[in-house]
Chains A and B, each alone.
Chain A
Amino acid sequence: MQEIMLHLIVFSTFGLVCVAGAVNLLVQRHPINSALSLVVVMGSLAVEYLLLGAEFVAAVQVIVYAGAIMVLFVFVIMLLNAGEEERTKGSRVAMVFGIPGMLIGSVLVAWVLLEHSGTGNVATGALPGAPKVIGWLLFHDFLLPFEVTSVLVLIAIIGAVVLASHPGSAQQGLAQPDKRKR
Chain B
Amino acid sequence: MSLGEFILVSVIKIVIALIVLLTAVAYTVWLERKVVGHIQNRWGPTRVGPFGLLQPLADGMKFIFKEDLIPPHVYKPLYIAAPMIALIFALTSISVIPIGNWITVFGIHTPLEITDVNIGLLIVLGVTSLGVYGVALAGWSSNSKYSLLGGLRASAQMVSYEISLGLSLVGVLIMAGSFNLREIVDAQSGTFWGFIPRWNIFQGQIVAFFIYLMAAYAETNRIPFDLPEAETELVAGYHTEYSAMKFAMFFMAEYANMITVACLATLLFLGGWHGPHRFGPPILQAILPIFWFVAKIFAFLFLYIWVRGTLPRFRYDQLMAFGWKFLLPLAIANLVITAFIVALRA
- Partner-B contacts on A (CB < 8 A): 2-3, 6, 32, 36, 39, 46, 55-56, 58-60, 62-63, 66-68, 71-72, 74-75, 77-79, 81, 125, 129-132
Contacts and interface: CB of A to CB of B under 8 A. Distances in A.
B332 interface: no
Contacts of A36: 78, 133, 137
Contacts of B114: none
Contacts of A32: 78, 137, 140
Contacts of A67: 125-126, 129-130, 132, 162
A71 B158 contact: yes
Nearest to A32: B140
B177 A131 contact: yes
A125 B118 contact: yes
B54 interface: no
A71 B118 contact: no
B10 interface: no
A131 B169 CA distance: 13
A78 B159 contact: no
Interface residues of chain B: helix, strand, loop or mixed (majority): helix
Contacts of B118: 55, 125, 129-130
Given A78-B140, A79-B152, A71 B122 contact: no
Interface of B: 3, 78, 117-119, 122-123, 125-127, 129-130, 132-133, 136-137, 139-140, 148, 151-152, 155-156, 158-159, 162, 166, 173-174, 177-179
B162 A78 contact: no
Given A56-B119, A74-B137, A75-B152, A131 B126 contact: no
A66 B173 CA distance: 23
Contact of A78 (B3, B125, B151): B151
B155 A130 contact: no
A111 B117 CA distance: 35
Contact of B122 (A59, A75, A132): A59
Nearest to A2: B3
Nearest to B156: A75
A68 B159 contact: yes
B119 A55 contact: yes
A78 B136 contact: yes
A68 B148 contact: no
Given A67-B130, A68-B129, 20 more contacts: A36-B133, A36-B137, A46-B126, A55-B118, A59-B122, A62-B127, A67-B125, A71-B133, A71-B158, A72-B155, A74-B137, A75-B136, A75-B152, A75-B159, A78-B151, A78-B152, A125-B118, A129-B118, A131-B174, A131-B179
Most buried by A among B78, B119, B127: B119
A68 B130 contact: no
A141 B259 CA distance: 40
B82 to A, nearest CB: 11
27 contacts: A36-B133, A46-B126, A55-B117, A55-B119, A58-B119, A59-B119, A60-B122, A62-B129, A63-B125, A63-B126, A66-B129, A67-B126, A67-B129, A71-B132, A71-B155, A71-B158, A71-B159, A72-B155, A72-B159, A74-B137, A74-B140, A74-B155, A75-B136, A79-B152, A81-B148, A129-B179, A131-B177
